[in-house]
Amino acid sequence: MSRTAWGTRLRTAVRSRGRLCVGIDPHPPLLRSWDLPETADGVARFADICVEAFAGEVALVKPQVAFFESYGSAGYAVLERTIAALREAGTLVVADAKRGDIGSTMSAYAQAWLGDGSPLGSDALTVSPYLGFGALEPAVTLAGETGRGLFALARTSNPEGGALQAARTAADGVSTGQGPTAARPGPTVAQSIVDAAVAQNRDGNDTIGLVVGATRGHGLDLSEFTGPILAPGLGAQGATVSDLAEIFSDSRELLLPNTSRDVLRHGPAVQALRDAARRVRDDVEAALA
């Protein structure tokens, strides 16, 4: 069966509805502020409101899987319905599950989130490459076969990630001329993920995207990367739309700023949520024009 590549699908959605990705994060403080119970029923009402507000208004919606998973099977049932409703409305769904494992386990995760016919099947999935980028191969293969995408964590917005992600990889053995044992350091761990994604995307499908936080200078060379960049941190974590053009000066085409709490705080009224998403979407488009 012929499949439309993920990069093509994403570009079509962005041209139609802008670059903004809005999160559905039903964490307890938000449930309380919306006067909803901290139960699966409360999460279901929260998700239904978000679907009504965002479907058809923005290109991508990103449910945070953990906030559904914490209610067990009932929470997963809500997530399944939410994914189905968004996709039926033509909105691309990024499952924020951050899966990453090896071998048959990674294959099972891929089937769950990217497989045709899976009740959790989404348009894209966040993945962690920190067991080695090559360990993602089952998900990379399936995403390519089904016209879906992956967003690999590279340089995240949380401060705890910096020590690992900015660490240098093993030296490449090329002398720096500073002594008999001196060697040029390798790229940072985060840059090695970017480089692996560049190599993977040479088929032109842009299956591999990156997660690069918008809250700080990322220090990455993205000059050869043509795929999508999911940029969390807009709003509640401190990044502003004016920061985007500076932080991602050479990576604007498929830059997908992500906001959650900064829009969700306007709920539970559907129109207020929709208006907030439209405002941020339009501000993003103006900043990146």
Q: Assign residue 215 the CATH number of its domain.
A: 3.20.20.70
Nearest to 47 by CA among 72, 67, 19, 17: 67
Note whether residue 253 is domain-resident.
yes
Provide the whole-model pTM: 0.93
Q: Tell me what pLDDT residue 174 has.
A: 46
62 counts as catalytic: no
Backbone angles phi, psi at 204, to 5 degrees: 85, 0
DSSP E strand boundaries for the chain: 21-24, 60-63, 92-99, 124-127, 149-155, 208-212, 229-232, 255-259
Q: Do 49 and 86 form a contact (C-beta atoms < 8 A)?
A: no
178 lies in some domain = no
Q: What total number of domains does the chain contain?
A: 1
Residue 110 lies in a domain: yes
Q: Are 219 and 193 in contact (CB under 8 A)?
A: no
146 occurs within a structural domain: yes
pLDDT on residue 178: 53
Q: What letters, b where the CB count within 10 A reaches 16 and e where it falls short, cover 200-239?
A: bbeeebbbbbbbbbbbbebebebeebebbbbbbbbbebeb
pLDDT for position 182:
55
The verdict on residue 173 lying in a domain is no
Structure-token match 């951050």, residue found: 98
Structural domain harbouring 52: 6-164+184-288
Q: For the chain (length 289 residues), average pLDDT per consecutive 10?
A: 85 96 97 98 98 97 98 98 97 98 98 97 97 97 97 90 86 50 78 97 96 85 94 80 85 90 96 97 92
- Which one of the listed residues 98, 155, 218, 281 is annotated catalytic? 98
- CB 123, CB 94: distance < 8 Å: yes
